[in-house]
Amino acid sequence: MGKVILEVKDGIGYLTINRPDKLNALNNEVLSELNTIIDDINKNSEIRVVIVTGSGEKAFVAGADIAFMKDLTPKEAVDFARLGQEIFFKMEQSEKPFIACVNGYALGGGFELALACDFIYATENAKLGFPETGLAIIPGFGGTQNLSRLVGKNIAKELIFTAKMITASEAKELRIVSQVFKTKDEMIKFAEDVAKQIMKNGPIAVGLAKRAIADGFDLTKEDGLKYEASLFGVAFSTNDAKEGLTAFLEKRKPEYKNS
């Protein structure tokens, strides 16, 4: 079995970090496999939504592999950070929604992987955080940027400067996590139901809405509205939009063809 596993069933891609003996920690091998699989997901028209989780019960991803990082030179550290950033940015830029299902530890690079997803669910035993400053380093896979954009600069500074872990319920209070579940199975079932709800909708429209939110977030309000309008126009150029609007008027379920 690879260090990253992709299974596809009924339009849902199940992406699992599979290194349970190391708490699914990220090293170059894992990132290389993840990079290839993200590319495969983006090319695969059968996959409409992706559920991301970690193998086993103890960890989603406990972080980057400390043993691997310990002897990195500054140049190698930059290259390692850029690799992780590029992979996670592909997820953020993908037209397909990614749902993080966090079980156990999501620390450092694991927290960054979850933040690269479109929303996060977690089990009650989940622990999230950035321990990097406690190791005299900083988050390097987008954590300083994504967390601050999600919860604001002050909360992000507090979490990163203190290196403290937070519980799933605390993460929900901060709106990092959307829902908290008792068990991993319950969480995955809920994520599947959400994925099925998303898949009832126009796939191009979902992708355009993701782009409007992600790319428009850092624009001025005026520029964001112009960008939204332009994507609104793109939606109207699709056959799916014609089908969706016509089906509504004819009081029937639409049949979208991703075109």
Q: Check if 95 is active-site.
A: no
Q: Check if 132 is active-site.
A: yes
| C-alpha triplet 133, 16, 52: angle, nearest 5° | 75
The C-alpha atoms of residue 229 and residue 209 are separated, in whole angstroms, by 11
The number of angstroms, rounded, from the C-alpha of 238 to the middle of its chain's C-alpha atoms is 27
What does DSSP say about strands 4-9 and 12-17: parallel, antiparallel, or unpaired? antiparallel
The residues that bridge with 6 in the sheet, in sequence order, are 15
Question: Of 46, 86, 112, 243, which is the active-site residue?
Answer: 112
CB 61 within 8 A of CB 27: no
Closest CA to 7 of 59, 52, 57, 56: 52
The C-alpha atoms of residue 191 and residue 72 are separated, in whole angstroms, by 37
Question: Of 33, 124, 132, 158, which is the active-site residue?
Answer: 132
| Catalytic sites, residue numbers | 112, 132
